[in-house]
Structure 1
């Protein structure tokens, strides 16, 4: 039996479990795009994979067919369809099921791109440990309305329902990401499948949060260090060598179809999982996002070190000042998460929320910058990309100066797309790849 919140709370406040909220003060690119959207669930099977959880030191590891559930959002024909419900979504406590509400219509017919525009670019979303495929669904829906096909992964051994030994996540996270890219590519060519001709995987973006960000950094080209391979993750030592910098197995993960990576609070640098040799392997443009008080992935000794060490790629660092590990990525805490299920010592609320920042505001900012970054590097849209070119790194130091008619004065240095006072608390740094 699954625990449920009090009926009075669930019935009177379920409308609060929305993932599609846009605040009036949201930056310009946070608003939803022109497309109505659909959503479908797909089970994908990665055959003959190492069963990390059953591996025993000194023995050949067993193999199994690794099942991954995907949620896929896409531009759709929704006339007459009822949008909005995601029932049965499990909370962080691993017990409580809730219903989320958004814009997507379940199983709606896909809408093909306009003549001459080709298929839609692709985005992969990878959750944390633990998490599920709905943890960043606010971002998935938002991007789908802007002409992307988006697939969010339930990473086996790493969800609220089946959280297993950490070693499985360390080894499988990047492998899952690249498998999903290949699987969606296969389905896009399969006659009769709803994705046939709908998605262009040659233009792919990858978004990962926490352990999803860890996997994204590896997928982007950063092989792990020897110290990481020796890390005690509760599985036979040395199994992580599949991702060792310079190894043939890690080189095979590299995929030129991935044009841009967004790593939100990526875990691992603070534990020595990469060194400069490993980070030099990243050549894919990458946007790091972090809270300056992240006490899980680290900031000064974690995400900032990743940013400064990624010397061979265009890279950005968006910082939410005074935010912790939950900056930007998680959906707003469902109302049921405010309650404590039986046997749980703290409310699931803490898994979603930040003590300083409003979650919807952070979501909107993430939607804005994801639209700009993927627009520049996946869609090759210079106008969208221009929103990344802020004239002053620290928004608190920017000057908003406008005439009465709305035209901007010469001294205006406020961030493009942000109304006066609405970029406070943000820092956006950027560096171009090193010259060869």
Structure 2
């Protein structure tokens, strides 16, 4: 028996090592919640180089000049592909140090022909500081397989390879998000074949950390006057473009295309970038996702966002005992397991959590993101049942009849297999609360 156990363990360890070496972003665990599973569409992927003219060049602002430039933005665009598309591609990128090469593997097919005969709404994906367009690639592929055109941004001045002054990120995030959405309906930018299947009038937004910061501003939560004056922030008061009550912020947020926002570990309330009054301006359906011991965006500060966004119905999904890497980052690439000279920490720490398995968190995020975007972006009212949950997942219990139908006292989290809804909290506040 001991020999058999040892052999079984060794085989499992070998499989785990092989999966790490492949750096897969598309793994679905057998115990994943229902809506994490890939959808019916094969997935295509393209890389686009965009340029937004006339943006403020924050890096070169001086006391005497506020120069502008054509802001470059590289994006990865996933989309439903034509039936019969053979799955599988690789993504060449770098890990957290901005130098060490890695190759990721997923289910998408590079430059595949798009599906035809229908159109699909857009989901914009926005990484943290620093990050890159592949950090949440698991969501890009997964949602594309379910009938979305998903586009993930390399935010200039904020990627692993070009990270620079924080003031650029503070100013540019929401404007990058809106600009990229603007491009998704233009056949001269994304190609006539992709434009033909893209409904750029209907969109959702998923942002992580500083991406969540930008998403909250874009969704209506203007920043405070005090935050525009921080010496370490955006120079010369230029952040007033995102300030609550300004014409510029009102113009940014006046966008009927944006139907729903998911903010994962959103940064900013912990350092006074919002107050209760500014948060009231947020107007889209909102889902917040956070780790209960997040020491970057600070969990209690994110709970303040949940409490203060009273202009909309919103949810808060909490991963108990998880830190800032809850839910969003892809599994740590194999190359990140070793120390590098340019970082004071092992880059693995940028992706992983000390308590939660990353694939498990990704699958839970994929499940809830699917339900949330289907409900609010596609208008699928049946998905509302996935949010009618007892707040503490540990209190949920299966109670079914012999034929498998639920009894009145059944409280199992919708879509979670028995015994798997553990370690989570789900809370909802209605508009006006």
- Please give the range of the TM-score, normalised by the shorter of the 2 chains: over 0.9
Which 10-residue stretch deviates more, 219-228 or 396-405?
A: 396-405
Aligned partners of 2:320 and 2:19: how far apart in 1? 31
Equivalent position of 2:235 in the other structure: 236
Equivalent position of 1:397 in the other structure: 395
Equivalent position of 2:72 in the other structure: 67
Aligned partners of 1:165 and 1:214: how far apart in 2? 16
| Residues 164 and 76 (structure 1), Cα distance of their counterparts in 2 relative to 1, 3 Å cut | same
Asked if the contact 1:78/1:108 (under 8 Å) is kept, the reply is no
SS of match in other structure, 1:207: strand
Report the count of equivalent residues. 416
Aligned partners of 2:142 and 2:104: how far apart in 1? 15
Equivalent position of 1:414 in the other structure: 412
Aligned partners of 1:164 and 1:26: how far apart in 2? 38
Aligned partners of 2:79 and 2:21: how far apart in 1? 23
What displacement does 1:394 show? 0.9
Asked if the contact 2:85/2:112 (under 8 Å) is kept, the reply is no
Asked if the contact 2:29/2:359 (under 8 Å) is kept, the reply is yes
What displacement does 1:366 show? 0.2
Q: Give the 5 Å matches for 1:55-204.
A: 55-57=61-63, 59-77=64-82, 79=84, 81=86, 83-87=88-92, 89-112=93-116, 114=117, 118-187=118-187, 193-204=192-203
Which 10-residue stretch deviates more, 134-143 or 178-187?
A: 178-187
| Residues 238 and 356 (structure 1), Cα distance of their counterparts in 2 relative to 1, 3 Å cut | same
CA deviations 1:22-81 (Å, max 9, x no partner) are: 111100000000000000000110001110011012x23011100000000001126464
SS of match in other structure, 2:260: strand
What displacement does 1:239 show? 1.4
Equivalent position of 1:347 in the other structure: 346
Equivalent position of 2:10 in the other structure: none
Aligned partners of 1:412 and 1:313: how far apart in 2? 29
Aligned partners of 2:358 and 2:292: how far apart in 1? 16
Q: 1:36 aligns with which of 36, 42, 50?
A: 42
| Residues 374 and 344 (structure 1), Cα distance of their counterparts in 2 relative to 1, 3 Å cut | same
CA deviations 1:72-96 (Å, max 9, x no partner) are: 0001126464622112x11001111
Aligned partners of 1:106 and 1:12: how far apart in 2? 23
Aligned partners of 1:81 and 1:400: how far apart in 2? 39
Equivalent position of 1:286 in the other structure: 286
Aligned partners of 2:65 and 2:370: how far apart in 1? 45
What displacement does 1:420 show? 1.6
CA RMSD of aligned residues (A): 1.7
Aligned partners of 1:258 and 1:343: how far apart in 2? 39
The answer for unaligned runs of 5 or more in structure 2 is: 1-16
Aligned partners of 1:192 and 1:129: how far apart in 2? 30
The answer for unaligned runs of 5 or more in structure 1 is: 1-10
TM-score with structure 2 setting the length? 0.93
TM-score with structure 1 setting the length? 0.92
| Residues 91 and 193 (structure 1), Cα distance of their counterparts in 2 relative to 1, 3 Å cut | same
Asked if the contact 2:170/2:233 (under 8 Å) is kept, the reply is no
Aligned partners of 1:279 and 1:166: how far apart in 2? 22
Equivalent position of 1:26 in the other structure: 32
